[in-house]
A and B are shown apart, each in its own frame.
Chain A
Amino acid sequence: MSQKKLTVVLSQAQGKDPVRRAIEEEIAAALLMEPGVDLGIVPALYDLHQGHTGRLYLEGIQGDMVVISWLYPRAAYWLLDRDGIQGQLGETNIKPAEDNDDDEETEEVAKPKGIGAVKFKDRLIYCLDLRDAKDHRVYVNEVRRILGECRKRWDASGENSKPAIVQLGMNISNPASSSNVVNGINFPKEEMLKVPGRRWYPVIDYSRCTNCMECLDFCLFGVYGVDSLERIYVDNQDSCKKGCPACSRVCPEQAIMFPDYKSPAIAGAPVGAISGLKIDLTKLFGGGDALVLAAKERDKELVRDGRDAVGLSVGIPKRQSDKKDSPKDDLDNLMDSLDTLEI
């Protein structure tokens, strides 16, 4: 039997919604007593700033972990990645209610076009979305299933034969204790749960990002930067303008997420993961051109800062004009191709 434990981090909802708090509490109560599981509770993941005890705790976790939050899994995974909490995305069995009739996940991995995560840590991070089921047992059972899966991996890699020196004696967790212990460091629960202020910043999905730098050209608030490997990254998160999702509209790969934004496609919904299959008909239904809308949103923020509006004159890619050259198809072909989208 493996001595290792699976760390489960429960990220609370922003605000004080009693319905959300209730399911969080049910899950926490069940997992506190669950053998093989170490449970940590933190405030909303998205709001954890550098130095927050909850974030330090997350950074300290070494092995496989499950992150249960009110965010889309893609958003949770890549926001942790940006904060240096990295690993491979684990496959979960919990799916959004509406697509239980088809197995779309095989499609999602079909064409990894993006540049991918840079540092690769050999552990799994499973991200569960608390909006996917109303019954807390769904999450508890999924944690048990994941634990079983992880135990098999641990046993296969023989990892549990290595002495876990730092954890010896410290990690015999007592559910009632007032702190979480990771790597011998004490994280007082009270500190971990301190509610941070709301934050607003973009999160890049590097499985989609092609490093085209259009976001860098578009954003005039210095949010984006380039790292030492010349990869785009969200440099100054807190320079971002609250509520403004403009750069995500400009991104040609839909790689930029704002996890708190109201429209699911921008918040990181799984629909986006199969965007090759779902067409965005917003323009047809009277929505403005995405680039025009983005420029408008950006102008609003510029003016609010006492700067001049720039409209479409700065950092707008010239994609529109290229489109005209694509060959025209006859009507039947088009409708056929719509129909073949059915998988």
Chain B
Amino acid sequence: MSEPLTFMMGKFAAVVPADLHYSRNHFWCRKVAGKNRFGFSSYAIKLMQDVYFLDWQVNAGDKVALLEQIGHIETSKAVSDLFAPVEGLLLGFNPEVLADPSAINIDGYDKGWLFEMDGAIDSLMDANAYHAFLEENWEKAQRMLKGKINAGDE
């Protein structure tokens, strides 16, 4: 297996495992027992920090559109709505992180997985493309974050 890539967020090195695929909204995707499993990338987790609360607004068996809202998350630093990384069928959620979301922070690329979906995963990026995507958008992301921190919100 090839070495993971790293993306420097200031002093923090976000790990981008080479064998996974990624969506533009910072989910990783891995085939597990024939199903596409999704979770938060290290980049996303660094921005959110400790996950306090996770809530899904769709159910297993629901068809979802690309970027349709599927849930909501609250962490020590942030709140956010969550959106489907691809179009397709939601197969199920990780019951363990629903009960105790701390696995997301401890082991985000494995035990902290979030949900499984059947869908158009061809649209996802490989690790190199995701790394380039992060690089390209880092300045914009910072500006957005900085604006949020200073102004409270927009």
Contacts and interface: CB of A to CB of B under 8 A. Distances in A.
B51 to A, nearest CB: 11
A271 interface: yes
B38 to A, nearest CB: 12
Bin chain A's interface residue count. Answer: 35 or more
Nearest to B12: A335
Contacts of B122: none
A281 B47 contact: yes
Contacts of A290: 154
Interface string B19-50: 00001111000000000000000001001110
Interface of A is mostly: loop
Contacts of B77: 277-279, 338, 341-342
A337 B143 contact: no
Interface stretch (A231-239, A260-268, A306-314): A260-268
A326 B81 contact: no
A119 interface: no
Name the residue among B12, B79, B82, B147 with the largest chain A CB count within 10 angstroms: B79
Contacts of B9: 331, 335
A282 B78 CA distance: 9
A218 to B, nearest CB: 14
B26 A276 contact: no
B150 A326 contact: yes
B23 to A, nearest CB: 8
Contacts of A323: 143, 147, 154
A328 interface: yes
Contacts of B78: 278-281
B154 A286 contact: no
Name the residue among B11, B52, B80, B85 with the largest chain A CB count within 10 angstroms: B80
A9 to B, nearest CB: 29
B81 A254 contact: no
B79 A265 contact: yes
Contacts of A284: 25-26, 44, 47, 80, 141, 144
Interface of A: 98-99, 252-254, 262-265, 271, 275-288, 290, 319-320, 323-324, 326, 328-329, 331-338, 341-342
Given A285-B82, A337-B149, 7 more contacts: A252-B151, A279-B77, A280-B148, A281-B47, A285-B25, A319-B154, A326-B143
